[in-house]
Amino acid sequence: MNYEAVIGLEVHVQIKTQSKMFTRVAAGYGHDANTLTDPVILALPGVLPVMNKAAIDAIVKAGLLLGSEIAPVCKWDRKNYFYPDSPKNYQISQYDQPMCRGGSVEIELPGPARNIQGEHKQIPLTRIHLEEDVGKLNHGATDSLIDFNRAGTPLMEIVSEPAMHSAEEAFAFLTSLRMAMVYAGISDCDMEKGQMRCDANISIRPVGQTTLGTKVELKNLNSISFVRDGIAHEIRRQVAVLGSGGTIVQETRDYDGQTGTSQSLRSKEMAHDYRYFPDPDLMPVKVDEAWKQRLRETCPELPFEKQRRFIAHYQIPYTITSVLVPDRGLSDYFEAAVAAAGPGRAQMVGNWIANDLLRELGAAKVALADSRLTPIHVAELVKLIDSGTLLTSAAREVFAEMFATGELPGAIVDRRGLRAETNAGELEQWCRDALAGNPKSVSDFKAGKESALNAFKGPVMKASKGKANPKLVDETLRRLLAAL
């Protein structure tokens, strides 16, 4: 029998705020254990939470960006459960009134080849809500230590509809979501730092069936490739269970990305009763139209929208856009360089950025923002090449030098004598000499053999010691030949 997988994702995204969600202590990663704490984080007797408005800004922005409906008030609930990483033994979260409902994430599936755009789809979202992160347990041989630095960091839980059907779609969903969140400055989404975490609900059903099969929740998918591998593994496991006449048990499974295996954590019967109720320590906060409008104005263009615009407006190929667009800084750099280089040069600018600039940055291990090379450098270089002043063959060297020194390309060209020969009289003489020296090719060209033109170019370049502008050489030869 053929089965179809049905996948829904629950993605936790840490919001990048200065301070934690309900107290003033700083949020951060990589600090000494338990240094980012205060009486509120440690849930000492008598403390109270006070909301960080920046966290609401971030989730509302995320919702606006993804087309969600924004709740008129931000209401808080307590999710009660005992676990040592949770200092209050309840988590402040949102239960029946999530900040955002609906919306969708646009994904791109892999195309038939690297340079061909794949299929695009909208994956609908169920909801996005705010909650606080918990601490981290470090298990030793005989004891477990708790680090509360992460506790109380603002967290968004983004829940998709069960609308994906392959590990690739789930992978594309996470990639696109991450890109959008990073674009909007909401989170850095570094999975290694736990800034983005993913659980997957997976079921399978015979192709054609419309009801859902029994779902299994897969946890600890802590890198994007583990998400893909884990889901693929779980689909295979379920197909194998059904294939051998078994039934799928509703349960939570833990995926181990190192070994590529999973094991059961708990069954449905062991599910928690979280005893949700409205948090009496926090008043609901009204999110009015003016607040939303202010945030709407800070929403960036989404990556896929930008890609479509780049292709339509700048007429640059998909392959270049797929290099530029995922990085907001790089695509901004591109647009600044195109603006400075002038119309008609977008593809040249794109090529220099996508190839040479990225190669130099990679080799030097320098971030774009720290580079001495500004969009003006790239634009000036492209203008020199396009006007025939700098030969492409020499431009690579100029690029490397300006990348290293930050000097403008015009100055490098002049200092190193790389400016292409543009003395029209001298050029015309070299061309006349070349034609005179090769009457056979002259008659071949006259007879319609276009390639015969190349026979004259070598001697001209030789006479100019390589400095002649090939475009001018071409034009001059054609003009002289026409007059013969």
Partner 1 sequence: MSTETYFLSIGALSAALARGELSSVELVQAVIARTEAVETKVRAFNSYDREDAMAQARASDTRRAAGRALGPLDGIPIGMKDVIAVAGQPLTASSRMLEHFVSPYDATVVKRLRNAGAICWGRLNLDEFAMGSSTENSAFQATANPYALDCVPGGSSGGSAAAVAAGEAIASLGSDTGGSIRQPAAFCNLVGLKPTYGLVSRYGLIAFASSLDQIGPFGRSVDDVAHLLGVIAGHDPLDSTSYQVEIPDYRAEIARRQGPWRLGIPREYFGEGLDPEVAQAVQKAVAFYQSLGCEIKDVSLPHTEYGVGAYYIIATAECSSNLARFDGVRYGHRSKDAKDAVDLYFKSRAEGFGAEVKRRIILGTYVLSSGYYDAYYLRAQKVRTLIRNDFLAAYRDVDAILTPTAPTPAFRRGTKADPLAMYLCDIYTIGVNLAGLPAVSVPCGFSQDGRPIGMQLIGQPYQEAELLSIASAYERAHGWGQRRPVV
Give, as one character, the DSSP assignment of residue 192: G
Q: What is the DSSP string of 365-403?
A: T--GGG-S--HHHHHHHHHHHHTTSS-HHHHHHHHHHHH
Does residue 51 touch partner 1 according to CB under 8 A?
yes
* Residues across the chain: 484
Does residue 152 touch partner 1 according to CB under 8 A?
no
Does residue 89 touch partner 1 according to CB under 8 A?
yes
Q: Looking at 11-19, 39-47, 249-257, 380-388, which segment touches partner 1 (CB under 8 A)?
A: 39-47
CB of 326 to partner 1, least distance (A): 40
- State which of residues 6, 282, 316, 420 lies at the interface with partner 1 (CB under 8 A): 282
**Closer of 86 and 126 to partner 1 (Cβ):** 86
Q: Looking at 41-49, 121-129, 330-338, 346-354, which segment touches partner 1 (CB under 8 A)?
A: 41-49
Contact (CB, 8 A) for 127 and 101 = yes
Range 122-151, binding partner 1 (CB under 8 A): 144, 146
Q: What is the bridge-based pairing of β-strands 261-267 and 251-256?
A: antiparallel
**Cα–Cα distance measured from residue 13 to residue 389, given in angstroms and rounded to the nearest whole number:** 50
* Plot region of 305 (φ>0 → left; ψ -120 to 50 → alpha; else → beta): alpha
- State which of residues 4, 12, 47, 252 lies at the interface with partner 1 (CB under 8 A): 47
Q: Looking at 121-129, 212-220, 276-284, 431-439, which segment touches partner 1 (CB under 8 A)?
A: 276-284
Q: Which helix (H) or strand (E) holds 146?
A: strand 144-147
Binding residue count for partner 1, defined by CB under 8 A: 29
**Closer of 149 and 238 to partner 1 (Cβ):** 149
CB of 51 to partner 1, least distance (A): 7
Q: Looking at 79-87, 175-183, 187-195, 206-214, which segment touches partner 1 (CB under 8 A)?
A: 79-87
Q: Looking at 243-251, 271-279, 321-329, 391-399, which segment touches partner 1 (CB under 8 A)?
A: 271-279
Does residue 443 touch partner 1 according to CB under 8 A?
no
CB of 185 to partner 1, least distance (A): 26
380-383, long-range: CB < 8 A, 24+ apart: 380/340, 380/408, 380/409, 380/410, 381/352, 381/409, 382/337, 382/341, 382/345, 382/348, 382/349, 382/352, 383/341, 383/342, 383/345
**Cα–Cα distance measured from residue 399 to residue 348, given in angstroms and rounded to the nearest whole number:** 14
CB of 29 to partner 1, least distance (A): 22
Residue the block writes with tokens 């029209």: 424
CB of 109 to partner 1, least distance (A): 39
CB of 336 to partner 1, least distance (A): 42
Half-sphere exposure of 19 (CA within 13 A, CB side): 13
CB crowding 14-30: b at 16 or more within 10 Å, else e:
bbbbebbbbbebebeee
- State which of residues 6, 7, 49, 390 lies at the interface with partner 1 (CB under 8 A): 49
Q: Where are the alpha helices (DSSP H) in 5-120?
A: 53-65
CB of 42 to partner 1, least distance (A): 6
Phi then psi for 267, rounded to 5 degrees? -95, 175
Range 329-348, binding partner 1 (CB under 8 A): none
**Closer of 40 and 189 to partner 1 (Cβ):** 40
Does residue 415 touch partner 1 according to CB under 8 A?
no
Q: Looking at 7-15, 87-95, 111-119, 204-212, which segment touches partner 1 (CB under 8 A)?
A: 87-95
Does residue 44 touch partner 1 according to CB under 8 A?
yes
Does residue 268 touch partner 1 according to CB under 8 A?
no
Neighbours of 80 (CB within 10 A): 16
Q: Which helix (H) or strand (E) holds 180?
A: helix 167-183
CB of 83 to partner 1, least distance (A): 8
Which residues, in sequence order, are CB contacts of 185 under 8 Å at separation 6+? 16
Q: Looking at 85-93, 202-210, 298-306, 435-443, which segment touches partner 1 (CB under 8 A)?
A: 85-93
Residue the block writes with tokens 């200065």: 18
Phi then psi for 232, rounded to 5 degrees? -60, -40
Does residue 273 touch partner 1 according to CB under 8 A?
yes
Question: Which residues are at the interface with partner 1 (CB under 8 A)?
Answer: 39, 42-51, 78, 80, 82, 84, 87-90, 144, 146, 273, 275-277, 280-283
